[in-house]
Amino acid sequence: MRISMGVLFALAAIGGLAAATPALADDLEFTLTNATSVSATEFYVSPASVDNWEENLLEGKYLPAGNEVTVTIGDGRRTCTYDLKTVFEDGRTAQNDGVDLCTTGKYTVHE
């Protein structure tokens, strides 16, 4: 699965720096917002039809509290409904199943 982030996480905490990444026609793009008081250290997106979590999209980076990033899912699937899991730096997790990312175009993680 090819995933690209539209913002460099290391710079997100100091105002953000956009890194333009062209999307393919069938790619699914959405805005991920961390509306918690803790940085997110892992973020997983798997189609609702899949029984296990696919790779960690943050891959050693983090999404600071109060920041957002553009996520592009370019996995070649034609689905809109995904299960989402966020792991925070304090070890807590947040999970939301069956989110229609095509309709909303965004996902906000809450505490």
Cβ distance 80 to 101 under 8 Å?
yes
Query: Topology of domain 2-12+25-109, per CATH?
Result: Immunoglobulin-like (2.60.40)
What is the reported pTM? 0.75
| pLDDT digits 0-9 by tens, 41-89 | 999 999 999 999 998 989 889 999 999 999 998 888 889 999 999 999 9
Q: 94 pLDDT band (50/70/90 cuts)? A: very high
Cβ distance 77 to 47 under 8 Å?
yes
Residue 42's identity, in one-letter code, is E
| pLDDT digits 0-9 by tens, 9-29 | 433 433 343 333 444 447 899
Lowest model confidence (mean pLDDT) among 11-25, 27-41, 90-104: 11-25
Domain ranges of the chain: 2-12+25-109
